[in-house]
Protein backbone atom coordinates (compact mmCIF):
# COMPACT_ATOMS: atom_id res chain seq x y z
CA UNK A 1 0.00 0.00 0.00
CA UNK A 2 1.32 3.43 -0.88
CA UNK A 3 1.49 6.19 1.66
CA UNK A 4 -1.00 9.03 1.23
CA UNK A 5 0.35 12.32 -0.11
CA UNK A 6 1.26 14.79 2.62
CA UNK A 7 -0.87 17.92 2.75
CA UNK A 8 -0.06 21.19 4.46
CA UNK A 9 -2.65 22.87 6.70
CA UNK A 10 -2.31 25.97 4.49
CA UNK A 11 -3.18 24.04 1.32
CA UNK A 12 -6.44 24.89 -0.40
CA UNK A 13 -8.24 21.63 -1.11
CA UNK A 14 -11.23 21.20 -3.41
CA UNK A 15 -13.42 18.33 -4.50
CA UNK A 16 -12.12 16.93 -7.79
CA UNK A 17 -14.47 18.05 -10.59
CA UNK A 18 -14.98 14.43 -11.67
CA UNK A 19 -16.86 13.82 -8.39
CA UNK A 20 -20.24 15.06 -7.24
CA UNK A 21 -21.10 15.14 -3.54
CA UNK A 22 -24.78 14.79 -2.75
CA UNK A 23 -27.31 13.43 -0.30
CA UNK A 24 -28.77 10.12 -1.47
CA UNK A 25 -32.20 9.66 0.08
CA UNK A 26 -32.33 5.93 -0.68
CA UNK A 27 -29.01 5.39 1.14
CA UNK A 28 -29.78 7.93 3.87
CA UNK A 29 -26.19 9.09 3.45
CA UNK A 30 -23.99 11.47 1.51
CA UNK A 31 -22.35 9.89 -1.50
CA UNK A 32 -19.66 10.75 -4.01
CA UNK A 33 -20.84 10.10 -7.54
CA UNK A 34 -18.34 9.62 -10.35
CA UNK A 35 -18.50 8.11 -13.85
CA UNK A 36 -17.48 4.63 -12.72
CA UNK A 37 -19.65 4.39 -9.62
CA UNK A 38 -20.58 5.67 -6.21
CA UNK A 39 -18.87 5.95 -2.82
CA UNK A 40 -21.10 5.96 0.27
CA UNK A 41 -19.62 8.26 2.92
CA UNK A 42 -19.88 8.10 6.67
CA UNK A 43 -21.06 11.27 8.39
CA UNK A 44 -17.56 12.47 9.35
CA UNK A 45 -16.26 12.13 5.79
CA UNK A 46 -19.31 13.92 4.44
CA UNK A 47 -18.93 16.82 6.88
CA UNK A 48 -15.31 17.30 5.83
CA UNK A 49 -15.95 17.01 2.09
CA UNK A 50 -18.96 19.37 2.22
CA UNK A 51 -16.56 22.05 3.38
CA UNK A 52 -14.07 21.66 0.52
CA UNK A 53 -16.50 21.53 -2.43
CA UNK A 54 -15.63 25.04 -3.61
CA UNK A 55 -12.05 24.98 -2.36
CA UNK A 56 -11.02 25.88 1.20
CA UNK A 57 -7.87 26.09 3.26
CA UNK A 58 -7.44 23.00 5.40
CA UNK A 59 -6.89 25.22 8.46
CA UNK A 60 -10.28 26.86 7.87
CA UNK A 61 -12.02 23.49 7.61
CA UNK A 62 -10.30 22.34 10.81
CA UNK A 63 -11.32 25.52 12.67
CA UNK A 64 -14.95 25.22 11.59
CA UNK A 65 -15.27 21.54 12.48
CA UNK A 66 -13.38 21.99 15.77
CA UNK A 67 -15.90 24.64 16.78
CA UNK A 68 -18.74 22.23 16.00
CA UNK A 69 -17.06 19.53 18.13
CA UNK A 70 -16.83 21.66 21.28
CA UNK A 71 -13.15 22.45 20.75
CA UNK A 72 -11.91 18.85 20.61
CA UNK A 73 -8.56 18.53 18.85
CA UNK A 74 -9.60 16.77 15.65
CA UNK A 75 -7.06 18.43 13.35
CA UNK A 76 -4.92 15.31 12.89
CA UNK A 77 -7.97 13.23 12.00
CA UNK A 78 -9.19 15.77 9.45
CA UNK A 79 -5.76 16.08 7.87
CA UNK A 80 -5.38 12.28 7.72
CA UNK A 81 -8.77 11.93 6.03
CA UNK A 82 -7.99 14.67 3.49
CA UNK A 83 -4.67 13.00 2.67
CA UNK A 84 -6.49 9.72 2.00
CA UNK A 85 -9.17 11.51 -0.04
CA UNK A 86 -6.45 13.25 -2.04
CA UNK A 87 -4.65 9.95 -2.60
CA UNK A 88 -7.90 8.37 -3.85
CA UNK A 89 -8.43 11.29 -6.22
CA UNK A 90 -11.61 12.54 -4.53
CA UNK A 91 -9.96 15.88 -3.79
CA UNK A 92 -7.05 17.87 -5.14
CA UNK A 93 -4.90 20.75 -4.03
CA UNK A 94 -6.12 23.90 -5.71
CA UNK A 95 -3.39 25.84 -7.44
Domain membership flag for residue 2: no
Domain membership flag for residue 25: yes
pLDDT given for residue 95 in this prediction: 80
Query: How many domains does one find in the chain?
Result: 1
- b/e per residue, 53-91, with b = 16+ CB within 10 A? eeebbbbebbeebeeeeeeeebbeebbebbbebbeeebb
pLDDT given for residue 45 in this prediction: 98
More confident residue, 66 or 2: 66
pTM, two decimals, is 0.90
Phi, psi for residue 34 in degrees, rounded to 5: -150, 165
Domain membership flag for residue 4: no
Range of the domain at 35: 12-93
Residue 81: which CATH number?
1.10.10.1150
Give the mean model confidence (pLDDT) for residues 38-64.
97
DSSP string, 8-69: -TT-EEEE-TT-EEEEETTTTEEEEEETTEEEEPPHHHHHHHHTTTT-EEHHHHHHHHHHHT
- Over residues 4-34, the pLDDT tens digits come to 669 999 999 999 999 999 999 999 999 999 9
More confident residue, 72 or 57: 57
Amino acid sequence: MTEAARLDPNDIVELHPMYLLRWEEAEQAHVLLYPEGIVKLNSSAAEILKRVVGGRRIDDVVAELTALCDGQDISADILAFLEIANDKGWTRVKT
